Amino acid sequence: MLIEELVNFFETVSPETVSRIGGLYAIDARFKDPFNDVQGVPAIEHIFRHMFTQVEAPRFVVTERIVQYDSAMLAWRFEFGVRVGKRVHPQVVNGVTHFKFDGEGKVSLHRDYWDTGEELYMKLPLLGWLVRALRRRLSA
C-alpha cells in the first residue's frame, strides 16, 4: 500500500534518498505548505533538499494516519535543530499532511498544515515576544 511507502519515506528521508520522491509522486504533483507552493517532482525534490541545508538533523515521526479512498492524512512531528553559533537548539513542529492520489496511486497533492505562529514564530526571540503579546491581547 502506498501509504506505508510514504510513511517509510518520510521517516527515513535523507539527502541520499530524496530522489525516491519520483517513484511516489505523479510527475505534475503539487506541494503546498505555509512557505511553498510548487508543482512537479523536481520542484518538490528541491524543497526537501533545501530542508537539509537549512536545519540540523531533520527527522519526521508519523504519529497518526487516516486513509480513505484516494486520500490520506498523516499527523507528524518534525524534529530538527537550529544552529546558533556553535550550539544546536532542538526544535519540534507538529503538523498534518493531506495527500490525494491519482489513478496510478501516486501522490498528486501534498498539502502540509501547521501553525507557523505557534510552531515557529513564537519560538524566535524578538518575533516570539511580539507574537505572544498579540496572542495575550487577542485571547478571550
- What are the tens digits of pLDDT across the range 33-70? 999 999 999 999 999 999 999 999 999 999 999 999 99
Domain 2-115 has CATH 3.40.50.20: no
**Residues 65-99: pLDDT tens digits?**
999 999 999 999 999 998 888 988 888 999 999 99
Q: What is the pTM of this model?
A: 0.83
**The pLDDT of residue 76:** 98
Full 3-state SS string of 61-128: EEEEEEEECCEEEEEEEEEEEEEECCEEEEEEEEEEEEEEECCCCCEEEEEEECCHHHHCHHHCHHHH
- HEC secondary structure over 3-68: HHHHHHHHHHCCCCCHHHHHHHEEEEEEEECCCCEEECHHHHHHHHHHHHHHCEEEEEEEEEEEEE
- Give one word for 132, left, alpha or beta, with left for phi > 0 and alpha for psi -120 to 50: alpha
Domains in the chain: boundaries: 2-115
Which carries the bigger pLDDT value, residue 28 or residue 126? Answer: 28
